[in-house]
């Protein structure tokens, strides 16, 4: 019994539970076959209704609730939002099973937008429960569990459909059972004591939230470097100091950075919503004052927007090229292979010795051109197997490129700003995606057919390729890299590689 209690106090306990939750919540055998299910005899919807009227709702819903959910997640300290996400996921699956018609399926897309917006709770919960030295392992385990869940779900769905072991309706019932296991696991998660903004430890007064600093869920204070100031020194020199001491132990920053540190100390006392928003805005301005970081973030937003659009509507293209009524679809196997190849590409780039600060932008342009070429090949080949191969290439290249971008962006940021910048980039990607969806896809806009849509996406990535290749050429020839890797703790730097495998935008 004492061994069990000791294990429950260790960082491995919440990490294990979160891994189990991540696995069972992402095993969705029907997801690769959603278009055949909705357009088949079960729901009797047309491909135009699904593509132009139903799927766009997910984008609008995701954008509308992303920021409120982000703030609510921090205020509620993560766990309640994780439980809520699983409840909504369960309800979404049940709605797909029992609802019919366009309005009902639009409601399904709205609830699934809420589910995906709650992913922020999953990705930030673990950092409030483990110490800094365990970040890399905890992140790796959680990401591996999620990727394994997506892969197992795709393979399982392919086996069930190909061998006709279950109908689509029974596959949904099976998914409800798996989601129920995830729900039970989420309820067992321990409640964090702190959060990023609303529930910080009281640094200014040297207090914690009633826990010893060595306990799970807190981080021991870092030893000050030579020439830096401790927090006690900062208090005694509130009007004189011009040095900020943060989690990554940077030695010297501007007066604005020091003021941020002071304002953070005040927020730990007040914790009000206005103070939090003010702090978010000041951190945002300080982070994006770097031109190099801004350029990499622009690519992130543009490419993620195009990636989400492609992943969301690729099943419609497959259905157009080879209707499921006269062909045994292999969507599940393709999704499984694309996830594995994407993860391998993202992992392998971590062993590269290339100077990404100098050649990274040119690599973004070159490989974005290959992504555009893969999309054009999918559109104009007219062969389902060429479409499958093009999709695997496209997804693998995106995973590789987003990893490079994350390395470069995370290099000069502490963990708190790291989350803020990544969240801001995702929000910008969603804004762009909403614009494209409303103009190109939505029936109230142009309502283009699926072939024309993917032609637009191919041209979109071609424009990205030209812009960033020219920018990378200019950087390689005329400029010295602005951003240098400043992290002394390699664990945080390599954590960016693990987070690069975030899978976004897949339709349930």
pLDDT of residue 257: 42
pLDDT of residue 241: 42
Helix (H) or strand (E) holding 271: none
3-state SS string over 65-109? HHHHHHHHHHHHCCHHHHHHHHHHHHHHHHHHHHCCCHHHHHHHH
Q: Which segments of the chain have a pLDDT < 70?
A: 1, 4, 7, 136, 196-197, 199-273, 350, 410-419, 479-508
Q: Token match 């004591």: residue? A: 193
Q: Are 267 and 202 in contact (CB under 8 A)?
A: no
Looking from the CA of 285 toward its CB, the CA atoms found within 13 Å total 8
pLDDT of residue 350: 64
171-177: long-range contacts (C-beta < 8 A, 24 or more apart)? 171/29, 171/30, 172/30, 172/93, 172/96, 172/97, 173/97, 174/29, 175/27, 175/28, 175/29, 175/30, 175/93, 176/90, 176/93, 176/94, 176/97
Q: What is the pLDDT of residues 412-439, one digit of tens each?
A: 565 556 667 877 888 999 999 999 999 9
Q: Are 77 and 191 in contact (CB under 8 A)?
A: yes
Q: Are 41 and 168 in contact (CB under 8 A)?
A: no
């Amino acid at each position: 019994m004492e061994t069990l209690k000791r294990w429950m106090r260790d960082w491995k306990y919440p990490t294990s539970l979160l891994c189990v939750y991540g696995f069972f919540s992402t095993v969705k055998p029907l997801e690769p076959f959603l278009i055949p299910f909705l357009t088949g005899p079960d729901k009797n919807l047309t491909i135009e209704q699904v593509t132009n009227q139903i799927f766009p709702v997910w984008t609008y819903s995701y954008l509308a609730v992303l920021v409120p959910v982000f703030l609510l997640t921090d205020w509620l300290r993560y766990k309640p939002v994780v439980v809520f996400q699983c409840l909504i996921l369960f309800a979404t699956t049940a709605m797909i099973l029992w609802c019919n018609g366009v309005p009902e399926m639009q409601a399904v897309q709205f609830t699934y937008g809420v589910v995906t917006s709650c992913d922020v709770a999953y990705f930030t919960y673990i950092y409030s429960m483990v110490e800094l030295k365990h970040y890399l392992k905890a992140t790796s385990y959680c990401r591996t569990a999620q990727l394994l869940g997506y892969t197992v779900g795709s393979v399982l769905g392919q086996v069930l459909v190909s061998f006709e072991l279950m109908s689509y309706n029974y596959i949904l019932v099976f998914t409800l059972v798996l989601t129920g296991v995830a729900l039970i696991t989420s309820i067992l998660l321990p409640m964090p004591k702190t959060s990023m903004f609303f529930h910080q430890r009281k640094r200014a007064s040297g207090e914690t939230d009633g826990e010893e600093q060595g306990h799970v869920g807190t981080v021991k204070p870092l030893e000050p470097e030579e020439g830096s100031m401790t927090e006690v020194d900062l208090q005694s020199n509130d009007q004189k100091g011009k040095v900020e001491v943060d989690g990554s132990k940077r030695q010297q920053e501007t007066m604005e950075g020091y003021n941020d540190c002071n304002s953070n100390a005040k927020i730990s006392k007040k914790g009000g919503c206005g103070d939090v928003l003010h702090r978010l805005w000041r951190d945002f301005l300080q982070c994006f004052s770097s031109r190099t970081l801004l350029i990499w973030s622009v690519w992130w937003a543009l490419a993620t927007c195009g990636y989400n659009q492609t992943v969301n509507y690729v099943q419609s293209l497959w259905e157009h090229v080879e209707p499921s009524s006269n062909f045994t679809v292999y969507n599940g196997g393709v999704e499984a292979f694309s996830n594995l190849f994407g993860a391998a590409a993202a992992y392998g780039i971590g062993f590269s010795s290339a100077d990404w600060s100098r050649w990274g932008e040119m690599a973004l342009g070159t490989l974005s051109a290959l992504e555009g070429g893969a999309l054009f090949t999918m559109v104009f080949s007219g062969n389902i197997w060429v479409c499958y191969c093009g999709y695997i290439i496209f997804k693998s290249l995106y995973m590789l490129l987003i990893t490079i971008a994350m390395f470069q962006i995370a290099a000069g940021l502490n963990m708190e700003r790291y989350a803020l910048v990544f969240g801001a980039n995702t929000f910008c990607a969603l804004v762009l995606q909403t614009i494209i969806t409303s103009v190109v896809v939505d029936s109230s806009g142009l309502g283009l057919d699926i072939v024309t849509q993917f032609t637009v996406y191919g041209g979109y990535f071609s424009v990205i390729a030209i812009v960033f290749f020219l920018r990378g050429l200019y950087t390689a020839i005329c400029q010295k890299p602005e951003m240098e890797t400043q992290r002394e703790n390699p664990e945080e730097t390599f954590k960016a590689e693990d987070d690069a495998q975030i899978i976004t935008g897949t339709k349930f």
